[in-house]
Amino acid sequence: MPIVTVKLLEGRSDDQKRQLVEKVTDAVVETTNASPEKVSVIIEEMSPAHFGTGGKRVSDS
């Protein structure tokens, strides 16, 4: 039972998230031979104020 967690900054549309879940599921099925019904994908969204890179928060760019 593969479980995949994807962390993203807020702002993707429902359609984009739907496609992401479908494509991640397809990749896991292809590489692990798991059945699609057994693959779980969790999308965790975060505020740009809660993520930084290069010493700066994304929201400060």
**Nearest-CA neighbor of 22 among 48, 41, 50, 3?**
41
Gap between the Cα atoms of 54 and 61, Å rounded: 11
Q: Which of 2, 4, 24, 41 is catalytic?
A: 2
Sign of CA dihedral 40, 34, 21, 51: positive
As for how many domains the chain has, the answer is 1
CATH of the domain at 15: 3.30.429.10
For 8-59, what is each residue's pLDDT tens digit? 999 999 999 999 999 999 999 999 999 999 999 999 999 999 999 999 999 9
Half-sphere exposure at residue 16, Cβ-oriented, CA atoms within 13 angstroms? 9
Specify the pLDDT at position 61: 83
Gap between the Cα atoms of 59 and 52, Å rounded: 8
**36 catalytic per annotation:** no
Domain span holding position 34: 3-60
Specify the pLDDT at position 54: 94
